[in-house]
Structure 1
Amino acid sequence: MPRLKPLTEPDITVMPPAEAYDFDYFRARVDADLLARSIAIRVLGVPLLAVPVGQTRRGGWFGVDNLTIAQAVRTVLVPLGGFSSPRVTWRCRPHGSYVAEWGDQPPAMWPDENERLAFHGLLRPGSGRPHIPL
């Protein structure tokens, strides 16, 4: 009978925001103050950005492929300012995955894309204006 490997904590590293793979995406869409307070979280070799809530940004999320990693990401966020009410949830869209989520609870369904972008405080690239539904 094969021996089962003991469960280990996932390898997660907190890094400066500019080290995140998706830093340029957020730099063009998120307020500079929020970007400066962001952190890069490296999971399985790829650092991705976690942007705190504040100003027009009401919530955020960090998608991962399993529950253990989502819980570890949530644990990293708990002591940090700007990542209020960190929790682990399951998202069906855009594809099924666990997420570490923070800030206000997003609606189950978005009325439209502008509402979703406004909730996350995303700006139009190059415009400096938030995505606010008309």
Structure 2
Amino acid sequence: MLEKMKDIVKANDLCVLATVSEGRPHCSLMSYISDEGGHEIYMISHKQTRKYTNLLENPTVSLLIDTREEEKGQRRIYIKALTVSGEFQTIKDPGKKDLIRAKFLKRHPHLTDFLNDPGAEIFSIKIKSFQLLDGVKDAFFETID
């Protein structure tokens, strides 16, 4: 089941990022890419946003990734909703950051201007666990070491 969960992460590129600061939740629709192993998710944000401030104050996050685009119409009962729990990390290594930027541009060419903005920051979410709702009643939970 863990590989199925990682496959959902790798097959998609849009999620909802939930952050919390001072007890106040905040959600953001985010473009993302993942590493090959399905252990890390990479995103970009302006450093002057509420979400980025929240990440710096509380690195624990939750992401929602789903398959609603694949399961339209009568197939909605087959939608899979994957909740990813993880931890925000900055990326210090300039070489790694450049590699991620190149991969991000390949997957999301419409974000070129955003990625080139000096106020934008690429960051990582290290995945800790998954909860998959497969359809309306089948739920599965997996942790990553």
Task: Give the alignment's TM-score, normalised by structure 1.
Answer: 0.29
Q: Determine which structure has greater relative contact order: mean sequence separation of CA pairs < 8 Å that are 6+ residues apart, divided by chain length.
A: 2
Task: Give the alignment's TM-score, normalised by structure 2.
Answer: 0.28
The answer to which structure has the higher helix fraction is: 2
The answer to which structure has the higher strand fraction is: 2
